[in-house]
Copies of this chain bind each other. A is one copy, B any other.
């Protein structure tokens, strides 16, 4: 099931064929739950490859739901379309993270998923995953946990939007990205944001201008160094104080 690899692959140094057992992200993507001998069965159903370019849709809202996806490299944003046609960013998905679980309830995606840069994903056909879950209880449990994590994360965002100021929201988001980078053994203090200021603002319930102003202020205070999308956290404690909110 690896015949659909697109030939013009992006300049990515990871082998798109690598199995879950060899994937350096598997501690994030499949924590503890699946035994070595069972990984082979999982590998069989997972479709790899499918590199997306910036702006490409992984799926559209209202598409029939067939699969969930694990990000291998790159970044994806999830958006919902509101009644008046505006878009609401509901999440950013970094390597090792799973997206698409919103579609399970109705068998239809409620979000669209868009690549923010060149991005590779593993496609996990959900019906086959369900069948496999019956044979591998730890896989079932793992998916329950993944979905519960998503619920917890969404509720954290609800709290952020409901109770926190613009500065606190921006600080919290940067800390969240920092933490998730660190989990991937990347720098927690120096990284490149894949999303635009507009996406950040949309996600955080703020305007572009406010996001920009907050970043400028943090820079002036010596908490951050901001160069376009390159962010360096100069004063981690200062940023934590500015966030004043739980970050996963």
Interface residues of A in 179-205 (CB under 8 A from B): 202, 204-205
Residues of B within 8 A of A83 (CB): 244-246
A72 to B50, CA, bound (A): 46
**Chain A binding surface SS class:** helix
Tell me whether A105 and B158 are in contact in the complex, defined as CB-CB below 8 angstroms, given that A88-B163, A141-B130 are known contacts. no
A103 to B155, CA, bound (A): 12
Assess whether A7 is interfacial by the CB under 8 Å rule: no
Interface residues of A in 77-91 (CB under 8 A from B): 80, 82-84, 86, 88, 90
Oligomeric state, in number of copies?
2
Assess whether B140 is in contact with A90, with CB atoms less than 8 Å apart: no
A151 to B152, CA, bound (A): 9
Query: Closest Cβ of chain B: how far from A164's Cβ, in Å?
Result: 9
Q: Which of A18-26, A38-46, A142-150, A231-239 contacts its partner?
A: A142-150
Assess whether B82 is in contact with A148, with CB atoms less than 8 Å apart: no
Interface size for A (C-beta < 8 A) is 46
Assess whether B246 is in contact with A148, with CB atoms less than 8 Å apart: no
Interface residues of A in 196-248 (CB under 8 A from B): 202, 204-205, 244-246
A244 to B85, CA, bound (A): 11
Assess whether A161 is in contact with B205, with CB atoms less than 8 Å apart: yes
